Structure 1
């Protein structure tokens, strides 16, 4: 199963290249990168869980 999200910032800034994680009940289950259209897709196994998305800060430069 694929979950696709479109991300838009109110400021109009691009999120292109931002690494994201999909969380199920607070645990990371998939990673994705925002493309130039603001889309990110996560390949996941169907399951019942509360989902959330966060920036994967471990991949970002310090």
Structure 2
């Protein structure tokens, strides 16, 4: 199964190259990197879990 996300920040900052993790019930199950359009794709197994996305915020500059 493929999960596709579009990442957009209200500030207009680009997250290109940002490493993201897809979490299932709080545990990482897939990793992806944001492309220049703000898209990221995760390949996962189907199932009934609570999903969340985590970004390493240390890559963001103020």
TM-score by length of 1: 0.88
Work out the CA distance in 2 between the residues paired with 1:18 and 1:56: 7
Q: Say whether residues 1:29 and 2:23 are aligned partners.
A: no
Calculate the aligned-residue CA RMSD, in Å: 1.3
Alpha-carbon distance between aligned partners in 1 of 2:47 and 2:25, rounded to the nearest angstrom = 11
Question: Following TM superposition, by how much is the alpha carbon of 1:46 offset from its aligned partner in structure 2, in angstroms?
Answer: 0.1
Higher helix residue share: 2
Structure 1 runs (4+) deviating above 2 angstroms are none
Structure-2-length-normalised TM-score: 0.88
The reply on whether 1:16 has 2:23 as its aligned counterpart is no
Any stretches of 5+ residues in structure 1 without a counterpart? none
**What is the number of residues matched between the two proteins?**
58
